[in-house]
Structure formats: C-alpha cells, structure tokens
Amino acid sequence: MANSPSIFSFFSGAGFLDLGFETSGYKIAYVNEIFSPFIAAYRHSRELLNLPSPEYGYHHGEAADVTQLIEGTQAQHLSDLIKDSRKSYNIIGFIGGPPCPDFSIGGKNRGHLGDNGKLSAAYVELICRHQPDFFLFENVKGLWRTAKHRLFFESLKTQLQQSGYILTERLINAIEYGVPQDRDRIILIGFRDNFLKDMEINPEVIFPWDKYISYPQKQVFSYPWCKSELFKKDSIIPCPDNLPEKLTVEYWFRKNQVLNHPNSKHYFQPRAGITKIAAVDEGDVSKKSFKRLHRWRYSPTACYGNNEVHLHPYKIRRISVAEALAIQSLPANFILPENMSLTNMFKTVGNGVPYLAAKALAKTILDFLQIGFTNLEKGS
C-alpha cells in the first residue's frame, strides 16, 4: 500500500486499540481522550515502546470533548487537520469506542440518555460531519442485544447511511483472536460510498470478518474446560492435553512474565480478610464479585468496576495490573506509569480493546482496502 492510512483516534484511553492499528501498518495521526490520567498512560507506554508521537499530538481537556468537535473552533481545528492529512495520505480513518456503562447490563443501563450514552451519538455525529473514508465504532453487546438500546443503535446506523456510509457489523468475541478472555463486543465498520467508488471496490464485496479468526467461538466453547477445584496456594497443576493452552490465563502470565513486570506489585489489598479470599475455589466465577480465575481457562470479561473482583488462581490476592494487561493480550513491554492510581490503572485496562482483537480488526480493514489498491494498480 503506497501510503499508510492515517488514523484519528477518539476515546483513546491508554491506546490499546490504537496500538493494534499501528502495529498493523497504520499511522496514528491524532489522539483524543478527555481523562488526563489515560493520556498520561498513553504517552508513557508509547515512549517505552519507542513509538513516535501522533503527528497532530494528544488532545485532552475541552479539546477532547467530542461535542466540541462537532461545531465551533475545535471542530474547525479538527477539519483543518484532516485536510492537512489528506495532502499526504490517501485514506483517513476514525476509530473509537465511546464509554459504554449506559448500555452495559452490568452497568448503569441508562441507554442513550445517560452521559456516556450520549457520547455514542456524538461520535456518530462527528463521523457524519467530518466524513472520514472509513470508521470503526466499538461498544458493549448490550447496545446490540438489549431491545431498547438496539433501537438507538439502529437509529445511529440510519444516520450514518444517510450520510453516505456503507456499513458492516459483527458481534465479536475477543477469544476468537487468541485473547485469553470471554469478551463480547459489537463492532460497526463503515466506508464512505464515494470512497469505495473511487477505490473501485464493489460495495457488495463481502467484508472479510473471518480472515483473522484463529479460534472460532463454537469450537472454543466446546472444549472440556477445567471446572472449579479447591484453592491451594502456590499449587502446581499441569495443563490438560486436550485444551488450547494459548487461550489460558496461565499461558499469558508466563508469556508476559507477569511476576517480573513493572506493574506486578500493583494490586488492591483485600479489605476483607484473607480467609474470605482463600475460601473461593480456583475457577469459581459464578458470583457477581470475588471471581477466582482458573489458570488453565480463559478469563471472564476484564471489567474491574462495579465491585467486580478477580482473584489470582493460586495466590491469596487479587490479580495485579501486570496480570490484567496480559489478559488483555498486550505485549509484555506495555507498562502503565508508576504514579497512576490503582483505580485508574484497572479502569483503563478494563475499558481497553484487547490488543490481539484490535490488531485482527485493523488487518481485516487493511486487507479490504488492499482490494481497492489492487484494482487501481490494474487500471493504471
């Protein structure tokens, strides 16, 4: 591909989704996040990973409020940056996952009227106003499956279609891409109709959703996964032969050397006594809180708010930030800053798109775009 697609990132958090795109061949041009601790973590991790700063920098505070980017001086500034980027790059993409507690069954469930719910509408309005060549929208499955939220989701899609976008969507599970986690998310991807025509891509060409799926869901969930067993501190249990080891938390703990990771000591001390923690069986994730992971199984959704507590499989403690990062399939050298609060560390980890899922989605879009570049080369 002649030029790397230029990515404008919104609700960027600590940059998990962005990292998946960047390591797949895109250029991160613009980063927008309103919560300053997340931006600080984004900067910190990029420096350690030796990645360049975004071409147009980091935007936080008022400049990171997507409602400010729809109208007014901030909107004009963003428009100018997009025009400038088009001088150098053929393709502009918007990516983002608006905060989702208002659509989460386990969250506030206020829907499109909640403060976070309104951000989904603002992101769609942003796309319609600034007309990127393509976009990616990520959110919880509640937006897609809950009846009242689904109506709102359909209205967003109608707005995008009326603004000239051809859409494709799928309810994905991160485990399909090799992430050791059962995490459903709705992914909506859109391409500007005129852009597809210019690229000579037939709008009826099927988007290759399945290309980078390594572990089909039906197959994954049919394995005889380990059930609950009595918790034993520092016990040693070999991985059963009939399981895909690469989808287990223990495989990722070892892969990322979590005990030697700079975030290994970052975990919450139990308010309740260790007796309560030790009483939870390894693999018992049946309760709302105090779920103990099984070392030879995938994790439940990495979401560490609303009193959701995930316990270490064979240690008398909660999981560490290093272990949570591994469960999100991040590279071993992805590190959150020491001075970030524990609450914000776990919040940014839980909010992020799992790295391997982000990378697979980025590659899928790139392969789809490659069809257009091949067509253009044939015609020239």
Catalytic site residues? 100
Measured CA to CA, the distance from residue 335 to residue 236 in angstroms comes to 28
DSSP tag of 297: S
Measured CA to CA, the distance from residue 237 to residue 230 in angstroms comes to 12
- Range 171-176 contact pairs with CB under 8 angstroms and sequence separation of 24 or more: 171/141, 171/144, 171/145, 172/357, 172/361, 173/217, 174/329, 174/354, 174/356, 174/357, 175/215, 175/217, 175/220, 175/247, 175/298, 176/213, 176/214, 176/215, 176/216, 176/217, 176/220, 176/357
Over its C-alpha atoms, the chain yields an Rg (Å, rounded) of: 21
Measured CA to CA, the distance from residue 314 to residue 363 in angstroms comes to 36
